[in-house]
Structure 1
Amino acid sequence: MSESAEFEPEVLTALNAGRKIDAIKALRSLRGIGLNEAKELVDRYVDENAPEGGPVQKVDSNFSVAKLLFVGLIIYLVYMFFKS
């Protein structure tokens, strides 16, 4: 089945961002297919296109949020230091 090679841009964007579940949801809504079929297509695409069995692209968004909170805390502490 060559459908997996012709994914919609929304599906590819989600996969490249490491959001496999979002890719499956997008594929289901765009094509009107079932969960099993969408999951199989996404899994097959990832298996065929992942470099040496690894993820297509892994994104750790929790780390970015932690960095943002840390920077915000530092800015707040500096502000409070110079305010007094």
Structure 2
Amino acid sequence: MSEEPSSLEDIKKLLREGQKIQAIKLLREESGCGLKEAKDQVDAIQAKMIADGEQLPKATGCMGAAVILVVGLGMLSWICSG
């Protein structure tokens, strides 16, 4: 990782809140670096935080929504067929 951003605490705060994309955006705005470089730097900051014993929220994505949708549709078809 190159020079640490001056808003390192802001980036860490966003990571603690589970807002990794916002952390990447903040780093890009501050440093002017590209998306991949910013993501790699935020990943490194996150890994260091975890190595230091911090509990960070798990990333959420569309997989959880997909599971809920499938279960809901399954229940709906079960109710309608009964």
Normalising TM by the smaller chain, what interval? 0.5 to 0.7
CA RMSD of aligned residues (A): 2.9
Residue number in structure 1 paired with 2:57: 58
Residue number in structure 2 paired with 1:65: none
CA distance in 2, matches of 1:55, 1:25: 22
Return the index of the structure with the highest Cα Rg. 1
Give the CA deviation at 1:57: 2.1
1:46–1:56 CA contact under 8 A, matched in 2? no
Percent identity, aligned pairs only, is 37
1:32 aligns with 2:2: no
CA distance in 2, matches of 1:7, 1:55: 21
Task: Indicate how the Cα distance of structure 1 residues 16 and 3 shifts in structure 2: closer, same or farther if over 3 A, else same.
Answer: farther
Q: Which has the higher helix share?
A: 1
Unmatched 5+ residue regions in structure 2? 59-82
Q: What's the TM-score once normalised by structure 1's chain length? A: 0.53
Q: What's the TM-score once normalised by structure 2's chain length? A: 0.54
1:14 aligns with 2:14: yes
Task: Indicate how the Cα distance of structure 1 residues 56 and 23 shifts in structure 2: closer, same or farther if over 3 A, else same.
Answer: farther
2:12–2:45 CA contact under 8 A, matched in 1? no
* Secondary structure at the counterpart of residue 56 of structure 2: coil
1:44 aligns with 2:44: yes
